[in-house]
Chain A
């Protein structure tokens, strides 16, 4: 059974701007998918439909058994607990240190503080950030900031990891490191979906699928992308 199904999904703003138009595809467990396209192609909108920040104007999105048509508002947080999301601007909380930025994802779901702390330290260690747990976000480099964001997304062991231009704000070396982390996460069975406009990235992942977007439409869906 597919993890994610888009069925004739359109998203229209102000009754005339199509951010997505008649988009259909399925993504299975364990896939590594690039959503690629120029700025304004609808990549972020598409990702927003997966964690149901946005709902389709028409069509249906099914994610991990939830449907955009039938899901209740109070069920959305429970879907989001199964999905990790990272962004170009990291979205870290600047009033708390690295560890607290990660534990917050567990604490809000009722995980006891001690357990949350242990799990957060473990994941930060895995990402090579063990020595930075008490640093504040403004003391981190771009790459480190994104690693903290990844740690926050992974600490709940999500089924799906969404990355919206994850390397847009970091130097090339750190970008490679982030991509390697995403590959490792995918190797463990997590479905990873990366939205990017950087075609150079595609060569760095061997087994991947590439969905190309342009003006809100899927113009190509290559399951075994070869350059």
Chain B
């Protein structure tokens, strides 16, 4: 049986070789486009996740408030939902951080008689609260507290990044559906062509008592291989581009190992489904 399946699979391929390679080429191009979109989505999403992890709220305190009042403010902020930890940053700490980040400007600070930076609280949030909408809500609540001069969270930037990330994911999903339909159509037509070219054989197999699955398997294998090869070639090209990114774009692109097998699996599944549908429609 194995020999039969193998030889019929090969025979089916040979009966529409040109169309088979067109299917593979179309699958390759479409899966590659999807791969690039998926890669960009992953990159934006990763940046978003990293930024989200580092997100914190800076609460700048007015300079003239007495010490007990500061402690009271600390206690109030600590009670807010979503606050995981609070660090107090004195004027001196702020100066130290500034000097470390911008050493070229440290001389300028010498002209001031006292440290020009305000005292502040840096709030670390619980993971659930690292959402732009919740952060905005918290910022509004804290900024109206007495003794608070200004609150900065950078949540607008995170919100924008979140929107871009969602946009890319949305594009990838639309591409996935489009790609599924387009590849299915091409493989479907190829298998249809092969089945028509081998109708006589199928009729004889049916006559001599071959089961439906025995007749069907060579065509399913063909369709699956076309999709698989399209996915494999797309994965190889994407991998080569990312590997060679340093010499191509002068910076190293990050790598997401999971994308390559995913492209191959997508090709394989689309090929299998398309050839199955084709067979079921022509020879139900």
Contacts and interface: CB of A to CB of B under 8 A. Distances in A.
Interface string A58-95: 00000000000000011001111100010000010101
Interface of B: 1, 3-4, 11, 200-201, 203-212, 214-215
Given A104-B4, A110-B1, A77 B204 contact: no
Interface in A93-151: 93, 95, 104-105, 107-110, 113
B207 A113 contact: no
B11 to A, nearest CB: 7
25 contacts: A74-B212, A77-B209, A77-B212, A78-B209, A79-B209, A80-B207, A80-B208, A81-B208, A85-B207, A91-B203, A91-B207, A93-B201, A104-B4, A104-B205, A104-B208, A105-B208, A107-B3, A108-B1, A108-B4, A108-B205, A108-B214, A109-B208, A113-B3, A152-B208, A156-B208
Closest 6 CB pairs between A and B?
Answer: A81-B209, A108-B210, A80-B209, A107-B4, A105-B208, A77-B209
Contacts of B209: 77-81, 105, 108-109, 156
Contacts of A77: 206, 209-212
A108 B208 contact: yes
Contacts of A152: 208
Contacts, number: 54
Given A74-B212, A107-B3, 12 more contacts: A74-B211, A80-B208, A81-B209, A91-B200, A93-B200, A93-B201, A95-B201, A104-B4, A108-B4, A108-B205, A109-B209, A113-B3
Interface of A: 51, 53, 73-74, 77-81, 85, 91, 93, 95, 104-105, 107-110, 113, 152, 156
A156 B11 CA distance: 24
Contacts of B207: 51, 53, 80, 85, 91
A80 B200 CA distance: 17
A23 B211 CA distance: 29
Nearest to A78: B209
Most B CB contacts (10 A, CB to CB) among A73, A74, A77, A104 go to A77
Given A108-B4, A110-B1, A93 B210 contact: no
B1 A107 contact: yes
Contacts of A51: 207
A104 B200 CA distance: 13
Contacts of A107: 1, 3-4
Nearest to A92: B204
A93 B204 CA distance: 8
A108 B3 CA distance: 10
A93 B207 CA distance: 13
A199 to B, nearest CB: 28
A91 B208 contact: no
